[in-house]
Structure 1
């Protein structure tokens, strides 16, 4: 991915979402040729020259300082993830994707931790939203990851190309937008990752929805929140999702789901967990139902 083009399109997309009154300016009369702030308006709010900002937005800014980037980020009302993304695009450090072409793996102790979490669905996302480790309850809840070829164990690919995964998430639109925004943030760090370029190309061709979301240039880091799922066996679930960065690899994130004690979702999750822990007939029923739905 061309870093200069990415920087230009990101800055233009952030300008387009602001109006002059949003940043304390009085809009002038007449027809505006572009949505949002004009370059000269953004430069005025940031306290930089129009010529300098124009060069930066065109990808021609050299050795831009932290102070200038902070001023532009403030003027654009950027969040933390957006600020990090702007810094990666404006001052690329030439990082190569770690271990290109090599399988991603978690430390054995991380897999052991997952295996001991009998009542908590948990899995690890690696680079490019690849699912690289999981426990039994995560498979029962989200899909049969071991049955998939390694190259298909990718959350973005499943969300956009697998009908059953789409049906699983009640608010699929939000989940899809969040996932694409995370991919964008990764792309800012590793623009030369060939596997990311291949994934983005495949999804852009096969899913117009992905292409539309990718074109927004929205970015965000993985976080926490509530997820509503509709499981093919136990029905509706409202679960809390938490994300933890693994210390040995900043590109590996441990994702966990849990239900509020005493709720119907907690009872459904307990039932699903009991099936994964030795009740063969129940486990077979879950597996068969999920296979029928293509999860």
Structure 2
């Protein structure tokens, strides 16, 4: 065993105080504006690729592209980063109402072929209603979880079968399913989250992993999780060699050894995957990879 798995969060709307990676792309040189050749030497996407490469070279398990209604489209970023890496698990965050489950499954099957089976889903269900309405989605309340259950049911059915018929409250499919090179691929690992009764019920039916926020009542939430579903933890991390240097919001804070010890303590309670973030993402990914990950691997 190599120790707890760290999945690093990609900033889809800029990084740090200067929002690095969010500035407009440089203009094309005048002699290239006919679109036939070339392009900017360095674009905002290149910065996201630097973070992903740092995570992979540092031995982290994966990267997570969160859904941000005002940021870069997470599935597009996921596709770009997945093709640029060889070993990382690439976790795409997106809302259940983003598309039909058949289209989401087909898009993901293509990405799964491109990545060699490294794509995962982190389905966002409990979005702010104002965000949903701005995206043209007016499903609210408990219906969001009912729709997410149908979404995952249909997506898995067409992924694994042919001539699939389904009639539900939100979706209907007649003779759906994939053939040829899109058939027979591993379905994305499904990450879900939330602490409501509806969230736990959805995870029990469909999740591989349930992601919890770092909170004082974590043990109570872990006790409610279906035993077939693996728990994961999401947290910001603030770590340095010297504890005196630390300031910032709550999260995993302390020296490299203290942060490693806290992660290992959660691992002893069954948490094997950690979605971590810090700003600036590139430098902090390197710091975690160089100073914390070896401590986890060495004591696993």
| TM-score bucket of the superposed structures, by smaller chain | under 0.3
Larger radius of gyration: 1
> What TM-score, normalized to structure 2?
0.23
Task: Pick the structure with more strand per residue.
Answer: 2
Task: Pick the structure with more helix per residue.
Answer: 1
> What TM-score, normalized to structure 1?
0.23
- Bigger relative contact order, structure 1 or 2, given CA contacts below 8 A and separation 6+? 2
